[in-house]
Amino acid sequence: MAVTSDRPGAEQTAGSALDLGWLRESSAAWGMRAEPSRVGLTLRDIARGPYGDVPDHPPRRTMAPRGADIPDDVPDMGYTVNEKAEVWSDNIMELYEEAVSRQWSATRDIPWGQLAPLDPDLEHAMCQLATVLSEVEMVAADFPAKWLWRINHDFVEAKMFLCTQAMDEARHTEVFRKRALANGGGLGKATTVVEQFLKTILDAESYDEGSALMHLLGEGVVLSLFRAGEMIAPSEVEKRIFRLCMQDEARHVSYGTMHLRYRLQRDPTLAEDFHAYLDRGEELMGVLLTTPEVVEPATILAAGSVDAAVAMGSAASDVLRMQTIEEYLQRCERAGLDRRGRMRLPAAVIAGTSGVKTVAPEASVTVEGAS
Ligand SMILES: [Fe+2]
Ligand SMILES: [Fe+2]
């Protein structure tokens, strides 16, 4: 007796050792083809019919692929992020595609062979900047990693994007660690205030809070620094590093901005919660933006020397700081959160009254092997 099915190949004679339930009972969208677009078969191309329907509130907490036939007795995976708006953004599929297509190698794609000895103070400044960046980059891998297993699998595209972010940040940590060690300088000083900010992100009680602090505020500041980095880089090696990191960081910040926008559009009552997260984050960021180990290396690189940085006073760092704050405020606006009347960044930071006034000891010490 033949098994009946409207699927080609579903026929099977009676008495077979095969069960074939999977073949006969599937309700999948059989016959629906996904057409590759110009660049290939993208996530957007396959987000069709029932496969493209991402539920706002998934009925299950399972790793079963969205759109598959799922038995009723699948185990509950214990996900705690089960609302689409908690993690989604309208550009999440495109961000994932870009992330995969633009991976680069800190080993091969940086012209390390072109590194030449620098003025010792500039080498020291570059090494301190690389130290700070190497310190902060990995939190943007640890934070997504902490939350990934809690996120409902029906939001798989968001999870996939966060996986690419973790890889990006591993590479950023790698490239700045390599830069610190590559030219005779070495690692500089870690700081307690940086660690406190990172801990605040890791300890966030919700993905909402952590994402606002990290994707929007923290990574936004890093993105502004990378953008400025191209300008202040002492050689083509650092220019290339900053340029490549910047394209990754722009994705992470784009996710943070568009995700918050998506979140607030669906629930505007959350605005006050996000304001409160950013109130606290900005207070910490204000301290960071006046911390010598964080600010002065970039100031010295921008000025060209310690003496020039001292002569310029706060002017060199003010430009970067004001630009960083303005870009952050514009991102908040795009996300639907007006922070201009509420920003907690200290007045001294906004006014730029806390630039380089003294020469940090580590910035004036000759670096062995760097000259
Ligand atoms: Fe990064
Ligand atoms: Fe990042």
Q: Give burial (CB, 10 Å; 0-12/13-18/19+) of 181.
A: middle
The token duo for 356 is 């380089």
Q: How is the chain split into domains, by residue range?
A: 87-364
CA of 249 to the centre of ligand 1 (A): 5
Closest-lying ligand to the alpha carbon of 144? 2
In 3D, which of 196, 192, 191 has the Cα closest to residue 213?
A: 196
Give 166-191 pLDDT, tens digit per residue: 999 999 999 999 999 999 999 999 99
The token duo for 281 is 């984050």
Q: Give burial (CB, 10 Å; 0-12/13-18/19+) of 266.
A: middle
Instruction: Give the contacts of 330 (CB within 8 A, at least 6 positions apart).
Output: none
Q: Give burial (CB, 10 Å; 0-12/13-18/19+) of 324.
A: buried
Closest-lying ligand to the alpha carbon of 143? 2
CATH level 2 (architecture), domain 87-364: Orthogonal Bundle (1.10)
The environment of the single-atom ion ligand 1, i.e. residues with CB closer than 5 A, is 137, 169, 172
Q: 40 - beta bridge partners? A: 37
What is the longest distance spanned by two Cα atoms in the chain?
93
CA of 106 to the centre of ligand 1 (A): 13
CA of 364 to the centre of ligand 2 (A): 31
CA of 326 to the centre of ligand 1 (A): 20
In 3D, which of 49, 76, 81, 46 has the Cα closest to residue 64?
A: 76
Confidence (pTM): 0.89
Give 66-99 pLDDT, tens digit per residue: 999 899 999 999 999 999 999 999 999 999 999 9
**Segments in the chain below pLDDT 50:** 1-5, 9-10, 348, 352-371
**Chain centre distance of CA 145:** 12
